[in-house]
Homo-oligomer: A and B are copies of this chain.
């Protein structure tokens, strides 16, 4: 059910994701929601964002290789989700993070998730010989540009924005490794 909530949050956003829709989508029983989620929708959204954040973190952990490989790997994670959902998808973490006025607690979880992702990627970059001071800023750029590109892809129903971002980030990586 938490998985289903994460899917619907990505698809429709936090505010447009109703309790009932999550129940239908996951096939869970109607009568026991407030038994499992005493705090109601807020709690469900928080757990969904935590779940999605963890799931993506684990996929990020599996990315390895050179900086160019890392960029390709991260891009693939989001591209697969976008294409598999026929562009009717956005990152649930970003969706929750930009819905502060609707669900503040979930936005905090989203913020913490971004920091975790950035630190993980930064560590990978330093392992590849990138300057440890600059690595967090580069990791931040990767996450921001890919998250932004996913939104643009959905808006235009095209994969081009994401592909272009990945390509440009890889060119940037080339200038870093060649100058060392």
- At the interface, yes or no: A168 with Cβ under 8 Å from chain B? yes
User: A161-B140, A161-B144 are known contacts. Are A155 and B15 too (CB-CB below 8 A)?
Assistant: no
Query: Looking at the complex, which of A30-38, A56-64, A66-74, A89-97 is the stretch in contact with chain B?
Result: A89-97
How far apart are the CA atoms of A168 and B145 in the complex, in Å?
11
1/0 per residue, CB under 8 A from B, across A139-164: the answer is 01101111111011011110011001
Could you say which of B13, B111, B137, B175 contacts A99, with CB atoms under 8 Å apart?
B13
CB neighbours (8 Å) of A52 from chain B are none
Cα-based distance from A156 to B96 in the complex (angstroms): 12
> What chain B residues lie within 8 Å of A99 (beta carbons)?
12-13, 16
Expressed in whole angstroms, the Cα–Cα distance for A102 and B87 within the complex equals 14
A25→B88 CA distance, assembly (Å)? 31
Q: How far is the CA of A164 from the CA of B107 in the complex (A)?
A: 21
Interface centre among A11, A97, A169 (most CB of B within 10 A): A97
A98 contacts across to B, CB distance below 8 A: 13, 90, 95, 151, 154-155
